[in-house]
Structure 1
Amino acid sequence: MVFKAIGKYKLLVFAALVTMIIQVAAALWQPQYLKNIMKVMVDTTLSTNGKVDQISSYGFGLIAIAVMGLIGSVLNTIAAAKIAQSVSADIRESTFRKIQSFSYEDVEKFSASNLVVRMTNDLNQVQMLLMMVFQVLIRVPMLFVGAFVLSIMTMPQLWWIIILMVVLIVVVTAFSMKAMGPHFMAFQTLMDKINGIAKDNLRGSRVVKSFVQEKNQISKFDKESDELFGHNLAVGYIFSTMIPAFTIISQLAVFGAVLFISTYITDSVSVATDQLGGIMSFIQYMMQIMFAIIMGGMMSMFASRGFVSAGRIQEVLATEPSMKYDDVPDEKLTGSIKFDDVSFAYPHDEDMTLKNISFEIKDGEMVGIVGATGSGKSTLAQLIPRLFDPNEGTITIGGKDLKHVSQNSLKQSISIVLQKAILFSGTIEDNLKQGKTDATEADLNRAAKIAQAAEFIDRLPDRYDAEVEERGNNFSGGQKQRLSITRGVIKNPNILILDDSTSALDARSEKLVQEALNQELKGTTTIIIAQKISSVVHADKILVLDEGQLVAQGTHHELVQSSEVYQQIYDTQKAQED
């Protein structure tokens, strides 16, 4: 996933690698200049003027190397930042596009809060990983190898000190990484939980406050937060021992180098000069080796968290949508619907929600669906626009099996107004045009009149440009339902499904909506799911569900005479009205 995304930015990658090589070359070149300066300073055979001139030339050389390294560092940071930002933006778009292809079942498998964390926190971790790769992780082995080779070449008799230091640092780093690994793995899981708790609490803030559940919510959040704090603290403790350990090892290596080099110094001035100049370069190369190992170890530990996040994002991208549409030409579907022995169970549910459902709806009919709570009314409605696929049986629209119809054909033919009115941040026009992106003002006015939404929209100063707050919080429940109905009818669908979408309306508004639907959408097949029989009493046909089974169908008058379940519902509601 990441490597594929990086492939688009080969020029930037090349620039990052070249500037990184410049940085490493400058860092490795500098100790050699210091060695030469030291040799000049201790070489008493040169004249004073000669020494000053030579030291000055080496000094300017050091400045030139430093400037070269600085320029390389700045350009490398710019290139690495562009790569990280560009690749993470591409992955973010790909992930969001993939999620849009998911069915309800796929979204529920991950959970909404989990997907949000993957698209935000996990992608930030991947972005940081890319920055580290092109700034540190690739530079570290280059610096390590270069410093190791040059240190041996500078003081070959002290090769064993370098090897011993490397072994000790690698051992400490390995133990530290092993100890930190489980904590980094736990971070993302805990972030998912904390995000979910926070989201549920904010969405249900009215419920929390009305039932005085603030303390319980705080306690639940604190539990997960404290666990995350514990993992962070454990990582901090490991770091607090790592750094002193690295410092002690490096200082002992320096002490050993100085101690043993003193035994090699001879009375020969030229040999002593070489050895004293070499010891400075040797110590600097040791520090570079130690820095490379430490940075490599530390960055690897942080990178492990990035790799975990990359794996979580890859899991989303690799998930094949459970629902696929055939690649067939778009076609105009009629409003006839047929269920043939349809059974359905939600994912991870053992019991069937719908069992052996069979019925037919003619084009242009108004059909009501009634039943007790939990009888499967909304589930049946969600199968028609193919939000889920049945486990058994077939569903056809206009004589076409839903599984062999293009997605565009299906979505253009069906509108569903869900039981819970969902509005998005933006304007009223933005929300209504989700039903028909090219809707004109005349289309908006017509749909708003049918849904009785024009009544309050016309009173707003900005009308369709009026702001819609998050989740439509600046509108009442009835207003949100009327806007949802407007969005559903704006494209003149062949099939309109109203899933208890008038429950928040008063009796007068509900009656006006039904009358407008009958007059303005005469050729539309309308399916009304309702708790109240009064909402479907004039339907051409009423389907009665009970515990996931279709127990009766017919007109209101027929069902009152023939269906015991329908009669019980009707009598109960009539008694309540009386």
Structure 2
Amino acid sequence: MKILFQHLKKYRMQTILSTLFVAVMVASQLWQPKLLQQVLNAIMEDKMDEITSIGIILVAVAVVGLIAGIFNTILSAKIAQGVGADIRESSFRKVQTFSFSNIERFSTGNLVVRQTNDITQVQNLVMMSLQSLTRIPIMFIGSFILAMVTLPALWWVIILLVVLVVLIVMITFGAMGKHFAKIQAFLDKVNAIAKENLAGMRVVKSFVQEDNELKRFSDTSDKLTRHTIIVGTLFSVMIPAFMLVSNLAIVVSIYFVGDMVKDDPTVIGAIASFMNYLMQIMMAIIIGGMLTMMASRAFISLGRISEVLNTDADIKYDKDAPEEDLTGSVEFKHVSFRYEGDEQNALSDISFKASPGEMVGIVGATGAGKSTLAQLIPRLYDPSEGEVLIGGKNLVDVNKNTLRKTVSLVLQRAILFSGTISDNLRHGKQDASEDDMEKATSIAQAKEFIERQDKIYDAIVEERGNNFSGGQKQRLSISRGVIGDPKILILDDSTSALDARSEKLVKEALNKELNDTTTFIIAQKNFFCDSCR
């Protein structure tokens, strides 16, 4: 709740106005039955002047209530959307500070659900709260008192109605509550399975695993559906139960005041007013129950969002560290590293030093820790023991911008973002000119296929670069890595999709154009590392 209130502060004035509009709307709704009673009494007494004047007032009050309700809805929607956007931005900004280990702890699919579905639940709660939180107590208390004043003899009908409606709300919403957490959990699983299958569709099809994956998805989806149906069933039972109780209350009320109409025809107006207030009492309880149900689900979502926002990044940078130019020297001093939850070290007591401009090859079998070592240099992870130094400075003392400017990492799995080729290249250097792009793509042997595109560097890149081959994506990824002329370049098996000729040309270009750059080449084969240390 603390996080929600923090984001609502920005909309304090709009929230106050929204609450005032609710108060006007409820006052209008409470006044209308009394005016209706007066109109009916005037009809029974054949007072045409009163019918007209009171009728005009009744219409005016209804119109004022309608206008207040419209403005309340508009303000509520704006505030809810604004709060949702602010929380989404805060959450996304927080995720951007996470280290790899933070993200692995949550999982990508889980974070996506928290960024979308969970925030939508909170948005819905904010909107309904602004529309109903003030309305419920005013309407309930006001209708209760006015119903008592209108027909005091039927006080017991009011009490009975309240007790029955509250019981229905408690039973149904109480039964629903335990299913909401399960719905969120299964929603996470459904999203994760769908994401895995869409990303690995080629693997699924090549191993003819469509049926197995469909069964895995269907089993999880069925569990989600089962809990959702239970909630829907309880909700569908609740509404007819409310209608039954309200109709019984009306019938009982008419039965007990029927004889009074013979003696005083104006009692008809009182009955009409009384029944309106009964309906308003019931509606206040129903809306309160719905708000409670929505709140119970939203609080689960809010807790999941808070978990993200309150998670401290494993890797923290010294805010007071100045931006500076570092040399390309890299030194490991007795570095050991262990992944969270693992009992054994991925790296143990690693020590070496690479001088500026040196090309260092790291060759080894799968699982030997090559990529782990590479990811310690740009500080994607911190070592469990020992120190990693760049330009003679411990990474924990280096400014974040300095580190990102000094070190460039090109991963084996080439990740491209939707947009254009130039957009992707400018991830490596924001103010990159076309000359910078031509130089970088020439080094990566990407210039030839880029120039075959209709719009060259403004050619469209689809989601995850799906309109390019594996080799083309790797060459674009290398281009992005070298465009900023880094002091340290790490190629983590990033030429695995290139043919031998292209791989050789890339290496020659790196030696020629980036001879002052310290280059780490990680590979399973020795060919690309022949002249490396």
Q: Which residue is 1:310 aligned to?
A: 302
1:537 aligns with 2:530: yes
Percent of residue pairs bearing the same amino acid type: 56
2:261 and 2:267 in contact (8 A); partners too: no
CA distance in 1, matches of 2:55, 2:461: 67
Whole-Å separation in 2 of the counterparts to 1:362 and 1:227 = 58
- The aligned residue for residue 75 of structure 2 is 79
Residue 222 of structure 1 is aligned with which of 199, 218, 223? 218
Are residue 401 (structure 1) and residue 360 (structure 2) matched?
A: no
Matched, 1:52 2:48: yes
1:266 Cα deviation from its structure 2 partner: 9.1
Q: Post-superposition shift, 1:294?
A: 1.3
Q: Which residue in the other structure is 2:495 paired with?
A: 502
CA offset at residue 244 of structure 1?
2.3
What amino acid maps onto 2:418 in structure 1? S
Runs of 4+ in 1 over 6 A off after TM superposition: none
Shift of 1:63: 1.0
Residue 409 of structure 1: CA displacement? 0.9
The one-letter code of the counterpart of 2:316 is: K
Structure-2 residue corresponding to 1:447: 440
Aligned residue type for 1:516: A
User: Tell me, what secondary structure is at the counterpart of 1:492?
Assistant: coil
Per the TM alignment, residue 40 of structure 1 is displaced from its structure 2 partner at its CA by: 2.3
The superposition leaves residues 254-273 of structure 1 with CA deviations (integer Å, 9 ceiling, x where unpaired) of: 2332333346x398x6xx35
Q: Which residue of 2 aligns with 1:7?
A: 9
**Match 1:376 to one of 337, 351, 369:** 369
**Amino acid of the residue matched to residue 435 of structure 1?**
G
Give secondary structure in 1 for the equivalent of 2:23.
helix
* 1:290 aligns to 2:264 (yes or no): no
Q: TM-score w.r.t. structure 2 length?
A: 0.96
Say if 2:325 is the partner of 1:332. Answer: yes
* More off after superposition, 213-222 vs 105-114: 213-222
Alignment of 1:153-302 (within 5 A): 153-262=149-258, 265=260, 272=264, 275-302=267-294
Query: Does the aligned pair in 1 maintain the 2:489–2:519 contact within 8 Å?
Result: yes
CA deviation after TM superposition for structure 1 residue 198, in Å: 0.8
Match of 2:516, SS state, is coil
From 465, 471, 483, the equivalent of 1:472 is: 465
- Provide, for residues 522-551 of structure 1, a one-character-per-residue CA deviation record: whole Å limited to 9, x for no partner: 111111111111211211x2xxxxxxxxxx
2:44 is aligned to 42
Alignment partner of 1:343 out of 336, 346, 354: 336
Separation in structure 1 between the aligned mates of residue 148 and residue 343 of structure 2, nearest angstrom: 69
Structure 2 distance, partners of 1:37, 1:534, is: 96
Q: Secondary structure at the match of 1:320?
A: coil
> Counterparts of 2:229 and 2:451 in 1: how far apart (Å)?
58
Given that 2:42 and 2:48 are in contact with CA atoms closer than 8 Å, whether structure 1 keeps it comes out as: no
Residues 1:419 and 2:415 are matched in the alignment: no
Identify which range, 4-13 or 383-392, moves more after superposition. 4-13
Equivalent residue for 2:26, pick from 24, 27, 45: 24
Pick one of 338, 363, 366 that aligns with 2:359: 366
Q: Partners in 2 of 1:478 and 1:68 — Cα distance?
A: 67
**Partner secondary structure for residue 322 of structure 2:** coil
2:84 — aligned with what? 88
Q: Which runs of 5+ in 2 are unaligned?
A: none
* Whole-angstrom distance in 1 between the partners of 2:289 and 2:452: 65
Q: Which letter maps to 1:304?
A: S
CA distance in structure 2 between the aligned counterparts of 1:427 and 1:192, rounded to whole angstroms: 32
**2:76, 2:127 within 8 Å by CA — same for their partners in 1?**
yes
CA distance in 1, matches of 2:159, 2:131: 26
Deviation for aligned residue 1:39? 2.4
Shift in Å, 1:307: 2.0
> For residues 511-522 of structure 1, what are the structure 2 equivalents within 5 Å?
511-522=504-515
SS in 2 for 1:527: strand
Unaligned runs of at least 5 residues, structure 1: 542-578
Deviations 1:218-269 (A, max 9, x none): 1111111111111121112212321222122222222332333346x398x6
Contact 2:334 2:386 in 1 (8 A): yes
Q: Per-residue displacement from partner, 1:125-146 (whole Å, max 9, x unpaired)?
A: 1111112111223312221111
Partner secondary structure for residue 179 of structure 1: helix
- Counterpart CA distance in 1 for 2:294 and 2:85 is 21
How many residue pairs were aligned? Answer: 530
In structure 1, C-alpha distance between the alignment counterparts of 2:509 and 2:403, rounded to whole Å? 25
In the TM superposition, residue 510 of structure 1 has moved relative to its aligned partner by 1.2
Amino acid at match of 1:424: F
Alpha-carbon distance in structure 1 between the residues aligned to 2:92 and 2:426: 21
SS of structure 1 residue aligned to 2:361:
strand
Secondary structure (helix, strand or coil) at the match of 1:356 reads strand
| Distance in structure 1 (CA, Å) of the matches to 2:212 and 2:62 | 59
In 1, the alpha carbon distance for the partners of 2:518 and 2:235 equals 67
| Contact 2:23/2:134 (<8 A) preserved | no
In 2: Cα distance, 1:119 partner to 1:456 partner:
37
Distance 2:28 2:422 in 1: 60
Q: Give 1:155 deviation, angstroms.
A: 2.1
Deviation at 1:66, TM superposition (A): 1.3
Give the structure 2 partner of residue 564 of structure 1.
Answer: none
